[in-house]
Structure 1
């Protein structure tokens, strides 16, 4: 191997090692952070059917959104999701207030709804559940 090629190979190896070291030092998300990240992603992409999977099964037994409700969610495109406040009132409970901007796909009008989320930790399932249900998009 000639000298310029050897220098490039050494530089490439050094850069690769630095990149791998940087990735290895990345902090891992907590279960709450992971849950909020995935839930937020589902809402931001207007995938309310996927967001429904985060709702506490006990809540869904009592108050599952009907077919008409789920069709109503499909009428809206989420154009913004802004966490306004966070709170941990007690162990295993997390609350946040989120402003969600929605655009009606038919009228192209935008409105903002306030989503008061309450999450609970399920130690048996080892996951967080959304106790407050999906955002109420009927708010005025």
Structure 2
């Protein structure tokens, strides 16, 4: 089939009329200009998790607010404001996650210290025995 047998419209004309004129070019460099900016992350899922778990001083809720603001600004095309809200959401999430990890570790540490102290108290301390709770309360009434 030859290109001459086809009838092309004006907006779709072939670049060459013969196959022999088509020679592979060497290397072609295309200058794309500036690369497109990557839109900032909004950390929405992380914020939701922090909001639903412990949420000390509403840090998770603040992270959720800034995550939604970042998503809204990204949708509007204001990448500068979206980046600022994204940074705030990230730091609130870091603070909330740190608190969410710190509280259980502190409670566990205090429980271990209490059990060690009770184990080293006078005599044998049997918290789960018949008079365990009463003897536990007697420790604080001295």
Could you state the TM-score of these two structures normalised by the residue count of structure 1? 0.24
By percentage of residues, which structure has more strand?
1
Q: Which has the larger radius of gyration?
A: 2
Greater RCO (Cα-Cα under 8 Å, separation 6 or more): 1
By percentage of residues, which structure has more helix?
2
